[in-house]
Amino acid sequence: MTVAADPDLAADLQTAAHLTGRFVLRSGAVSDVYFDKFRFESDPGLPRRVARRIVALLSPGVEVLAGLELGGVPIATAMALESGLPVVFVRKAAKAYGTCRAVEGADIAGLRVAIIEDVISTGGAIVAGAERLSEAGGRVGEVICAVWRGAGEPALAALPGVRIAAAFIQSDLMATRHPGRDL
Domains detected in the chain: 3-182 (3.40.50.2020)
Tell me the pLDDT band of 170, cut-offs 50, 70 and 90. confident
- State pTM to two decimals: 0.89
- Read off the DSSP letter of residue 34: E
Q: What is the pLDDT of residues 47-100, one digit of tens each?
A: 999 999 999 999 999 999 999 999 999 999 999 999 999 999 999 998 899 988
String of DSSP letters for 87-140: EEEE-SS--SSTT--SEESS--TT-EEEEEEEEESS-HHHHHHHHHHHHTT-EE
Q: What is the pLDDT of residues 92-129, one digit of tens each?
A: 998 899 988 999 999 999 999 999 999 898 888 999 99
| Residue 48 to residue 66: CA distance in whole angstroms | 17
Residue 20 has pLDDT above 80, yes or no: yes
